[in-house]
A = this chain, B = another copy of it.
């Protein structure tokens, strides 16, 4: 994927905004299999060649949309307590994952077969690491980030994508308790 010009207000960024909006609207209204670069181009009012040149493939376009959607959307709490930070953050992530539009984008990004992980996860890892690092700086002995990913992000994303059991109230705290006990 090459995004050569993202100057706000420039033609390139207007196209990017229109294309991202078209993807989100199509995901909300059409079956996933209907999503192709030509269909997105038609919806966005952009020539298909532009999409192929700029994003290369549907997988790369979906990764770009996912990166936008999942970056900076959730604030990392700083309560002074690792447990409380993790409970608040896990609750926010769980709530985000009940949004049908978010689920549709995640499913599509996964299904398009992007290698190298889903853009919907990278920012979450960094946020977890930030909270654990802060606890370490306070002199605490937090779990490794890999363990926290397994214990929190694993079940959150697994339930959202693979099961029909949405997050229940109190579940976020259970997950954090299981990690920190």
A residues bordering B, Cβ < 8 Å? 31-33, 35-36, 57-59, 104, 107-108, 110-113, 115-118, 120-121, 147, 149-151, 153-159, 161-164, 174-175, 178
Contact = CB atoms under 8 A, between A and B. Distances in A.
B120 A162 contact: yes
Interface centre among A115, A153, A162 (most CB of B within 10 A): A162
Contacts of A159: 150, 154
B158 A153 contact: yes
A59 B32 CA distance: 9
A115 to B, nearest CB: 7
A117 B163 contact: yes
A66 to B, nearest CB: 11
23 contacts: A31-B57, A31-B58, A31-B113, A32-B59, A33-B36, A33-B57, A33-B59, A33-B112, A107-B111, A110-B161, A117-B163, A117-B164, A118-B163, A121-B158, A147-B178, A150-B159, A150-B175, A153-B158, A153-B162, A154-B155, A155-B158, A158-B158, A161-B161
A31 B115 CA distance: 11
B107 A110 contact: yes
